[in-house]
Amino acid sequence: MLVLSRKKDEKLMIGEDIEVTIVEVKGETVKIGISAPPEVKIYRGELLDAIHEAARQPAPDLTELDRKLRAKKEK
Amino acid sequence: MTDSHPIVRFSSSRFGDIEIPEDRLISVPDGIIGFPDFTRYALLDPSGGQSLFLWLHSVDSPDLAFIITDPLSFVPDYQIETSEPDLDRLGISGKEPPALFVIVTVPENDPDMISANLLAPLLFIESDSTLHQIVLEKGNWPLRYHLLAEERCDTGAGSAGEVR
How far are the Cα atoms of A53, B6, B21, B81 from residue B2, in angstroms, in the given order? Answer: 38, 12, 10, 39
- The predicted complex's ipTM stands at 0.83
Domain limits of chain B?
7-146
pLDDT class of B113 with cuts at 50, 70, 90: very high
pLDDT tens figures, A5-60 = 999 999 999 999 999 999 999 999 999 999 999 888 899 999 999 999 999 898 88
List B116's β-bridge partners, or say none: B104, B145
pLDDT tens figures, B56-94 = 999 999 999 999 999 998 999 998 877 766 777 777 777
pLDDT tens figures, A11-24 = 999 999 999 999 99
Helix residue spans in chain B (DSSP H) = 84-90
Domain limits of chain A?
11-74
pLDDT tens figures, B23-66 = 889 999 999 999 999 999 999 999 999 999 999 999 999 999 99
> Does residue B161 register a pLDDT over 60?
no
**Residue A52 parent element (H or E):** helix A45-56
Predicted TM-score (pTM) of this structure: 0.87
At B92 the pLDDT is 75
For residue A35, the chain B residue with the least C-alpha distance is B164
CA within 13 Å, CB half, B149 = 16
Cβ contact A42–B164 (<8 Å) = yes
For residue B107, the chain A residue with the least C-alpha distance is A57
Residue type for A42, please?
Answer: I
- On whether the CB atoms of residues B129 and B95 are closer than 8 A, the answer is no
At the top level of CATH, the class of B7-146 is mainly beta
CB atoms within 10 A of CB A65: 21
List, as ranges, residues 15-44 from A with C-beta within 8 Å of B.
34, 36, 38, 41-44
Is residue B1 classed as helix, strand or coil in its secondary structure? coil
A3 at B interface, C-beta within 8 A? no
Size of chain B, expressed as the number of residues it contains: 164
Q: How many CB pairs under 8 A join A and B?
A: 89
